[in-house]
Amino acid sequence: MNDDWIARWNEGATGWRYPEADQELESDFQRLRQTFQLPGGAEAFVPLCGDSWAVRYLYDQSLSVTGLDVAPRALELLRTCRFPEVQFERRREGACEVYSAPRVRLIEGDIFALETACPFHFIYDRAALVALPPSIRQQYASLLVAQLARNGVLYLVSYEYEATEQTSAPYSVPRLESLRLFAQLEEVDYRAEQLPVIPESMRMQAKTPPLRSVSIFCKRA
């Protein structure tokens, strides 16, 4: 699976990318920051981040941000396009390459090789869960729950659609499955919208336009 993602980035076959700012995250984050009292310097995590604008946005909100992706090309674009003024130091940590600077750490490696001593107060998953096949979703969800700090927030974007066959990402993740995967967390907000057309990245597997949802979970215990 990792080799496939690396190849897609190297070939520029990244139809799922959102190069522009995410205004939905901007408005939601300011509300969540007040509700859950996320302080400056709080730890944020963007799994399978690619070259996501969200990493830079959270950094600009004075959070300490960790982004992770398996594709070297994705993190190269993230460093050069989103953080052109930042000087990163590179080092090896276990099975991962880590690029670090004050308040930002970019990890090149497998999500299941993640090692961190500090829990995260905010996790933003826009394209990670839907990128994983059903067989490893529970392992991934358990990892996120373990890495989330007490009273920490998980912001999850997912899609649900009738599929011809589930052979490639982005996969359909039904709402009930999301609730089961993150049953240890409390869902504090949920909203969904029916997209008018099938996105290009889903044309091969979706029969109908997907339902796009945002679920916000909190770790109370």
Backbone angles phi and psi of 177, in degrees to 5: -70, -40
Cα–Cα distance measured from residue 104 to residue 71, given in angstroms and rounded to the nearest whole number: 18
| CA 218 – CA 11 distance, rounded (Å) | 37
Query: Is residue 11 predicted with pLDDT exceeding 80?
Result: no
Hey, what are 39's tokens?
Answer: 């302080």
Cα separation, 46 vs 183, whole angstroms: 21
Q: What is the pLDDT of residue 18?
A: 64
Averaged pLDDT for residues 77-90: 97
Name the token pair of 219. Answer: 């770790």
Asked whether the beta carbons of 172 and 159 are under 8 A apart, the reply is yes
Is pTM beyond 0.75? Reply is yes
**Helix (H) / strand (E) containing 159:** strand 148-160
Tell me yes or no: is domain 2-13+25-218 CATH 3.40.50.150. Answer: yes
* Rounded average pLDDT over 61-87: 96
Please say if the pLDDT value at position 19 is more than 70: no
For residue 35, give Cα distances in angstroms to 30, 45, 79: 9, 19, 31
Cα distance between residue 122 and residue 108, in whole Å? 20
Q: So what's the pLDDT on residue 16?
A: 62
Between CA 33 and CA 151 the distance in angstroms is 12
Which helix (H) or strand (E) segment holds residue 192: the answer is strand 186-194
Q: Locate all alpha helices (DSSP H) within 37-187, ordered by sequence.
A: 53-60, 72-77, 137-147, 175-181
Residue 14 has pLDDT above 90, yes or no: no
Going by DSSP bridges, is the β-strand pair 64-69/43-46 parallel, antiparallel, or unpaired?
parallel
Question: In which residue are the tokens 């993602």 written?
Answer: 5
pLDDT for 166 equals 64
Is pLDDT at 78 greater than 70 in this prediction? yes
- What's the pLDDT at 149? 95
pLDDT score at 20: 66
Which are the contacts of 115, defined by CB distance < 8 A and separation ≥ 6? 93, 94, 96
Q: Is the pLDDT of residue 13 over 80?
A: no
Residue 209: which pLDDT band, with cuts at 50, 70 and 90? Answer: very high
**pLDDT tens digits, one per residue of 122-171:** 999 998 999 999 999 999 999 999 999 999 999 999 999 988 776 678 89
Instruction: Break the chain into its structural domains and give their ranges.
Output: 2-13+25-218
One-letter amino acid of 32: L
Q: What value does the mean pLDDT of the chain take?
A: 91
Residue 93, strand partner residues: 96
pLDDT at site 41 = 87
